[in-house]
Structure 1
Amino acid sequence: MPTPPPARDPLTPVEERFMRSLTRLLAVLPRKLDADLVRSTGISATDYFVLVHVSEAPEQRMRMSDLAAGAAMSMSGISRVIDRLQKAGLVRRDRSPDDGRGWDAVLTDVGLQELREAWVVHLASARTHIFDHVGELDLDAVADMFQRMADS
């Protein structure tokens, strides 16, 4: 049986409010971003972010295991996404030129064009649902905080 974490002080009312609003945002925001992309492009947010990762890789190709790690997905999850994107003609799978054992996801010309169109929609969605609401917030500090939280 795992050892329970040590007792900590209860959350203050402000911390509790922050926790509840953050939890709601983490549930609502991805659905809003996804809905905007699907409605305008037919590409889900998951598909979009996978395409972004592949597009930013050298020669627009990325080993499947590296893609799974970069997209914070399991190998079976990334395989399902790549299967869907391959059926749509947006990526293809090629044997890795490094060792011939692994597989790479490679962005197709059609995939790059679709990504460019989805990028415009994603930018508008991000402005509408996120950046229009942050005001004078120090975004570098918040991004650093998010990164520390994700890495801990």
Structure 2
Amino acid sequence: MTLLRDEGLTAEELAVWRTLQRAQVRIARRLETELLVAHDLPLASYEVLARLAEAPGRRLRMNDLADRVLLSRSGLTRLIDRLQRHGLVGREACSDDARGLFAVLTEPGAERLAEATPTYLRGVKSQFLDLLGAGDIGEVRALLARLDVTDVC
């Protein structure tokens, strides 16, 4: 256990960090499975469609969308390519920036999102929210705000 002392972490601190990582991965994997089985829609694709649906005009600049869905620009570009091939999103040039592009939610994309959303919400509820007590939601939100991870939601 010299490693922990040398890096200034206690065994408990490291355990909390690892538990947080495992919880996030476990929940994401289960949501992914549920979305794939029911809608043939990967979780990352669902997140892109949802973020576009929430945006004014159902469009976001590609770099803003990448920040919101936690993907690299190149990773988002590949994902948008796939979604565009399936007719779920489109691309539009930015009128004020010749190099900029908007990702735009299409009507078929909005329909696919509407079909998948109940599955997604049930998964979030059963895999996360139902496991928390009545007062835990506010507490978790406050802890996450201290970690500054809620600013792009």
Q: Which residue of 2 aligns with 1:58?
A: 56
Shift of 1:66: 0.9
Gaps of 5+ in 2: 1-5
Shift of 1:110: 0.3
With over 3 angstroms needed to count, the CA separation of the structure-2 counterparts of 1:88 and 1:16, relative to structure 1, is same
Aligned length: 144
Match of 2:117 in 1: 119
Counterpart of 1:109, as a letter, is E
Alignment partner of 1:88 out of 81, 86, 89:
86
Q: Which residue of 2 aligns with 1:149?
A: 147
Task: Please show how residues 26-105 of structure 1 align to structure 2 within 5 Å.
Answer: 26-105=24-103
**Secondary structure at 2:119 match in 1:** helix
1:8 aligns with 8
Q: What TM-score results when the alignment is normalised by the length of structure 2?
A: 0.84
Q: Quote the offset at 1:17 in angstroms.
A: 4.8
* SS, match of residue 101 in structure 1: strand
Instruction: Return the alpha-carbon distance in structure 1 between the equivalents of residues 87 and 144 of structure 2.
Output: 34
Opposite residue 70 of structure 2, the aligned amino acid is A
Deviation string 1:24-80 (CA, Å, 9 cap, x unpaired) is 212211100100011111111100111111111110011111111111211101101
What is the TM-score normalised by the length of structure 1?
A: 0.85
Residue 126 of structure 2 is matched in structure 1 by 128
Identify the residue that residue 3 of structure 1 maps to in structure 2: none
